[in-house]
Amino acid sequence: MERQRNNKGQYASDKNFIERFWNKVKKTNTCWLWIGKRRIYGYGVVKYKNKEYSAHRFVWFLTYGKFPKKLVCHKCDNPPCIRPDHLFEGTHKDNIQDAIKKGRMLVGRVSHRRKLTFQQAEEIRKKYIPKQYGGMQKLIKEYGLSKRSIALILKRETYKK
Ligand SMILES: [Zn+2]
């Protein structure tokens, strides 16, 4: 008895659920963006039967009728995108390699080579007063950078967030 009632209720709510799911998607010419609740990094969140799922994993389930065993990665590198043909199943390793290939991991690698922190670059911008005598030289000495490096920071060509 209990089971029957559940099944019926479930069927109705599934239909509504799927409708509500697609109401939270904005289709653009390229990506289909999740406009509902998002996690950090922009991944969509879906709550289904009291469990939370990533929207891009859930759309996989809706499309293929099963949850992916592996990670679902984005070909388009756009976390809120849930367009099934922009997604592929991969391992964690694939995901990292994919990220490196697309430059998503570059931030970490570049900052390793950086001489300054973003905060220091910001300091330089604040300290520098154009045409003030010695301003540039002082910064060169203080931070151990070349004139060119400082000029690039001031022009915001480097150390931009
Ligand atoms: Zn996409």
| 96 and 29 both lie in a single domain | yes
Judge whether 124 lies within some domain. yes
| 15 and 35 both lie in a single domain | yes
CATH number for the domain spanning 65: value is: 3.90.75
Contacts of 74 by beta carbon, 8 Å cutoff, 6+ apart? 56, 81, 86, 87
Judge whether 159 lies within some domain. no
From residue 71, alpha-carbon distances to 32, 131, 155 in Å are 19, 55, 41
Looking at residue 114, its pLDDT comes to: 62
DSSP one-letter string for 4-44: HHHHHHHHHHHHHHHHHHHHTEEE-SS-EEE-S-B-GGG-B
Q: How far is the CA of 157 from the centre of ligand 1 (A)?
A: 29
Looking at residue 13, its pLDDT comes to: 62
**Residue 32 burial (CB count, 10 A):** 22
Q: How far is the CA of 89 from the centre of ligand 1 (A)?
A: 14
Q: How far is the CA of 14 from the centre of ligand 1 (A)?
A: 25
* Single-letter code of the amino acid located at 87: L
Looking at residue 12, its pLDDT comes to: 52
Looking at residue 104, its pLDDT comes to: 61
Looking at residue 156, its pLDDT comes to: 85
In whole angstroms, give the CA distance from residue 141 to residue 149: 12
What residue has token string 């990292």?
96
Q: How far is the CA of 85 from the centre of ligand 1 (A)?
A: 8
Contacts of 62 by beta carbon, 8 Å cutoff, 6+ apart? 18, 21
Q: Where are the beta strands (DSSP E) in 104-153?
A: none
**How high is the mean pLDDT in each 10-residue block of the chain (161 residues)?**
44 77 95 92 89 93 88 90 93 73 55 66 83 74 82 84 68
Q: How far is the CA of 55 from the centre of ligand 1 (A)?
A: 13
Looking at residue 96, its pLDDT comes to: 72
Q: How far is the CA of 21 from the centre of ligand 1 (A)?
A: 17
> What are phi and psi for residue 25, nearest 5 degrees?
-120, 130
* Single-letter code of the amino acid located at 126: K
| Number of domains within the chain | 2
Output the six-digit token pair for 4: 């029957």
Domain that holds residue 37: 2-106
SS3 48: strand
| 21 and 84 both lie in a single domain | yes
